[in-house]
Structure 1
Amino acid sequence: MAKYCFGVDVGGTTVKLGCFDTEGTLLEKWEITTRTANGGEAILPDVAASILDKMKEREISREDVIGVGVGAPGPIDGEGTVYNAVNLGWGTFSIKNQLQGLLNIPVEAGNDANVAALGEMWKGGGQGHKNLVAVTLGTGVGGGIIADGRILSGATGAAGEIGHIHVMDGEQEMCNCGNYGCLEQYTSATGIVRLAKRRLAADDKPSSLRGNDSISAKTVFDAVKAGDELAIEVAEQFGEILGKELANIAGVVNPEIFVIGGGVSKAGPILLDYIQKNYIPYVFAGSRGALFALATLGNDAGIYGAAKMVLD
């Protein structure tokens, strides 16, 4: 008899769900709206209802479901307890226990970035490796650490929050986390725009970026590819900041591979070049051979990683 599992990726706008077989083949994926009203009280009941509906539609019995994995934003410890997921309105409670009670099916839960890292290790850019650091360069900077094939959660699920490592003294603008000078402020999509605007304001050096009111990380890296000198200086600064910090992270967790994802990673291999050349000079010799790869699962990394949690 065939066995199944479900992967769930809870986002601030939508919840992505996937039905998998036990070999890791994605059989079907779909989305539902994330209802965050009233402290997000409807989110898990909605997830449970959607999974039960899909089981009925596909004629899958409870006995044939190995489990349901869930990734969600915010610190989530190894026991499946979330500690204040602000974007969802959640306080502190056990995702695992609540959803298990609604489904009567085993549940595992983890931080969304960590779960996505597990997905990339299993079926994405990190395949073949069991010690991995995933870096998501989007609106913010997310991170996930996989050690010996398993998520490194930390005491309160806050391990891997690399976007909030302090990298710059004297920063005047506040990071979303409330601190100043975080990695996220310089290497996220918005951070790259910040670096570009500051560079443009520093002097009158000619650049295709000058006079552009809608600079984005994409326009910066498109200009880099076109040989724009000022844009190249911005990319060098970005690469130096991120490369150095990944060298520091490697000194702690000694990964086999860094997998770079998120919207910024669409710049392609050139992005890895700027990071890697600034990683090598600063990293401890034992981690100098770490590989760099682009993430390949895109928005599906979360559901793959969530499924993998219950298959392990």
Structure 2
Amino acid sequence: MDKKLIGIDLGGTTTKFAILTLAGEVQQRWSIQTDVLNDGNNIIPNIIETINHHLKMYQMSPEQFLGIGIGTPGSVDYSTGTVESAFNLNWDRPIAIRQEIEAGTGIKVIVENDANVAALGERWKGAGDNALDVAFVTLGTGVGGGIVQGGHIVHGHGGSAGEIGHMTLDPAGYQCTCGKKGCLETVASATGVVRVARDAAQEYAGDSQLKAKLDDGQDITSKDIFDLAKQDDPLALRVVDYVCNQLGLALSVVGVTLNPEYIIIGGGVSNAGDFLLEKVDTAYQKYVFPAVSKTTTLKLATLGNEAGVIGAASLVLDN
């Protein structure tokens, strides 16, 4: 009987699950709400319960699975499969994910950072075309990243490789949640784009739908700003051009440092599509070393919400 894989994408709101073939074909998918109450103590028991419930429902046994891969927020101790802390899960202490899920399911477990599993998913079954060397940047509430070299995630000496969002672009820039100023995350995340727009609106005197909305006190999202820029709103265009220039600059540093085959842009902000990609690529080409511009290509992610579960499942094959 062919073995299967389980991929888990543990998020602060939702936890996604998938059963896959060894070739990466998703056969079953489901999700549960992530219960962060009670100091996050319900999260792992809920994961164990839903896995066992679905295996029973699909009339499958633990012996049919090669393993479970799980992507989680927070800093991971890869030797023990423990998350040191993850504040959006209310984990302010080490959580022995691998040990607890293995004990509860009888299936081998491998734990990885959530941005890294998204990188693995896009590399394996998405925009990465199964290339050996890929860098991934995800533009969401924050900016995350993952580096794949030779088909394997690069962790670095302390596990912080791929923290592209905390590359300093402007030492006098916005305050970042990490404690530094001017990180890429402060301008290129969904919240960062809105922050740039609010500041730009205060200094803009011309006609603009975006300025009118902001001056009126309306809630604005990064999607609203990109949609208005696509309609040639002058303030929205100014904001988007600035954000894309900063992102192109950051990715040029990634390109010249790693020279991967692809740098893949994912996350909610990337839903702006080719409009975003073309502007970022224009800036990237302006800043990047010419030899790298010929060999490292920018692409948009293609897997959406499935990247995490697919990448998590691939951890089992990698190990």
TM-score bin (small chain): over 0.9
1:156 deviation in Å? 3.7
Runs of 4+ in 1 over 6 A off after TM superposition: none
2:139 equivalent among 137, 140, 146: 137
Deviations 1:152-179 (A, max 9, x none): 12234322121122111223x5322232
Aligned to 1:27: 27
1:260 equivalent among 246, 251, 265: 265
Gaps of 5+ in 1: none
Aligned to 1:106: 108
8 A contact 1:175–1:182 mirrored in 2: yes
Code of the aligned partner of 2:288: V
Aligned to 2:186: 185
Correspondences of 1:272-311 after superposition (within 5 Å): 272-289=277-294, 290-311=296-317
Q: Does 1:62 align with 2:68?
A: no
Q: Distance in 1 between matches of 2:51 and 2:279?
A: 43
8 A contact 2:204–2:235 mirrored in 1: no
Q: Distance in 2 between matches of 1:15 and 1:41?
A: 15
* 1:157/1:39 CA distance change after superposition, 3 Å: farther
RMSD (Å) for aligned C-alpha atoms: 1.7
1:101 deviation in Å? 2.3
Q: Distance in 1 between matches of 2:308 and 2:314?
A: 10
Correspondences of 1:1-312 after superposition (within 5 Å): 1-79=1-79, 80-90=81-91, 91-171=93-173, 173-212=174-213, 213-289=218-294, 290-312=296-318
Q: Distance in 1 between matches of 2:211 and 2:191?
A: 17
Q: Distance in 2 between matches of 1:101 and 1:153?
A: 26
1:93 deviation in Å? 4.2
1:69 deviation in Å? 0.3
TM-score normalised per structure 2: 0.92
Question: What SS class does the counterpart of residue 181 from structure 2 fall into?
Answer: coil
1:77 deviation in Å? 4.1
1:180 deviation in Å? 2.0
1:10 deviation in Å? 0.8
8 A contact 2:16–2:31 mirrored in 1: yes
8 A contact 1:130–1:146 mirrored in 2: yes
Deviations 1:115-135 (A, max 9, x none): 011011111122232211111
Q: Distance in 2 between matches of 1:30 and 1:44?
A: 16
Q: Distance in 2 between matches of 1:15 and 1:125?
A: 23
Gaps of 5+ in 2: none
Task: Answer with 115-124 or 191-200: which moved more.
Answer: 191-200
Task: Answer with 118-127 or 278-287: which moved more.
Answer: 278-287
